[in-house]
Amino acid sequence: MARLEKPNKVMMLQAAAVLIILQMAGNKRKTAPCNNPTITEEAEIECILDERGNDNGKKKKRKQTHEYLCAWTDGQEPQWVAAKYLKGTLALEEWENQEEEEPEIFDSPEVLTEKCHSLAQLIQNAKRTSILLGAGISAPILPTFRGKHGLWTKGAHHNKKANAKVSDGLQPTLAHEGLVALEKAGFIYYKATQNYDDLSSRSHFPAHKLSELHGNIFTETCDDCHKVFHRDFEVPKDDSVDHETGRHCEDCGGILRDSIIHFEENLPERALTTAMNKFAESDLTIVLGSSLKVEPAASLPFRGRKRTRSNRVYRDVKACIVNLQPTGYDSQADLIIHGTCDQVIDAVAKELLGSNWR
C-alpha cells in the first residue's frame, strides 16, 4: 500500500501557546512604564507573525537585531522579541516549519481566454479525461495549504478563511458544479481528489467515478461490518486514538473510525488502485488547484505517459495543470494555465456546453 509522503518541509505543527520569560526591559511586554531593567514578565505567545534581521550569515554594514513579531493569546498588541529568547520554544519550531509563500501568477485575460479554449479543445478531442483536484478548487470558500496565506505558510495569520468549515453550510464552488455538468455530458472519465472537504460528494459527482485519496472528514467506517456512515458533522476527534471517533456502528455495534489520511499513513487501497488504473487509461489528465508536492497523488496525472514508455506503444497522452503557482511537474505538462479553477472550468463549460450550462 502506498503511503502519504511528506512534502519537502515537515507539516506545520498545530498552533499552541508557548510560555516564555522575557528578561530584558527592551523585550518584555509591559502595559505601564517600567524603569527597572531586571523586572521579568511571563507572557503567552500564540504564534509568530513575522521575522526581521536574519541575514543568514551575509555581511552588512549595519547589522539588525534578529527578532520575531509575536502575537499574544490575551489579545495585546504584537511585539518584536529578540530571537535568543525564543530558542527551543514550540512557537519558533512552528514558524521554522512553515513554508515561505510563493507568489501567485495570473495569466492576462487574453492569454487566459486562449488557454481555456485550448483546454476545451483537448477535452473535446480526448476519449478519456481524468481530473485530479487539490485544495485550490475549494479556495473561494476554504483556506488552501500552500496558496496565498495558506495554512502551511508563514502568512497563514492573514487568512480570513482559516476557520471556515463546510459544516457551517458552505456550498460547492462553481468549478465543482462545472465538473458535474461536464461529467453528465460525457466529458469526464474519472476524478480523484486530495481534498477531504466532501465538496465533490456534495456537488453530486458520481461516487463510482470518484476516489477520495486523503479521506473524507464527514465519513466514518465500521471496523467489523465495514459499513460507511456519511454524517452532516465532522467526525474526527482531536484526542482520537487510532482514528476512533467515539461512536459505534448502528448495525453491529463495531468501533467507528474516521477516514482522514495523515502523513506517513497508508492511502485507502481501493481508492488509490482505482485512481491509478483510471489515470493510466486516460489520454488527457487535468490538475485543478494542486501544488503537486504530496505523493503518490502528485504523479497520478502522468501515469499514462509512464505506461506508454514502458509498453513502447505510442499514445498521444496530454496533461494540463491549472494552478496559480509553479509545480514540480510543470515540465511534464502540455498546457499550464495560471487562473482560478472557477475561471477555467466556467470558460470550458461555456464552450463545450453552452453559455447557460448552469
Length of the chain: 358
What's the pLDDT score for residue 161? 63
Pairing state between β 79-82 and 67-72: antiparallel
Phi/psi of residue 150, each to 5°? -60, 155
**Cell for 9?**
518541509
Taking only the tens place, the pLDDT of each residue in 247-264 is 999 999 999 999 988 877
* Number of other CB atoms surrounding residue 118 within 10 Å: 15
Q: Which residues of the chain have pLDDT under 70?
A: 1-43, 55-63, 143-159, 161-164, 306-315
What's the pLDDT score for residue 100? 73
What is d(CA 203, CA 337) in angstroms, rounded to the nearest whole number?
A: 24
What's the pLDDT score for residue 43? 61
* Residues recognised as catalytic: 214
What's the pLDDT score for residue 18? 36
What's the pLDDT score for residue 318? 95
What's the pLDDT score for residue 313? 53
What's the pLDDT score for residue 32? 32
What's the pLDDT score for residue 12? 34
SS3 letters across the chain: CCECCCCCCCCCCCCCCEEEEECCCCCCCCCCCCCCCCCCEEEEEEEEEEEECCCCCCCCCCCCCCEEEEEECCCCCCEEEEHHHCCCCHHHHHHHHCECCCCCCCCCHHHHHHHHHHHHHHHHHCCCEEEEECHHHHCCCCCCCCCCCCCCECCHHHCCCCCCCHHHCCCCCHHHHHHHHHHHCCCCCEEEECCCCCHHHHCCCCHHHEEECCCCCCEEEECCCCCEEECCCCCCCCCCCCCEEEEECCCCCCEEEECCCCCCCECCHHHHHHHHHHHHHCCEEEEECCCCCCCCHHHHHHHHHHHHHHHCCCCCCEEEEECCCCCCCHHHCCEEECCCHHHHHHHHHHHHHCCCCC
The label of the residue with cell 490575551 reads: 74
**Cell for 107?**
495569466
Q: Could you tell me the end-to-end alpha-carbon distance of the chain, in angstroms, rounded to an integer?
A: 39
Q: Are 345 and 175 in contact (CB under 8 A)?
A: yes
What's the pLDDT score for residue 11? 36
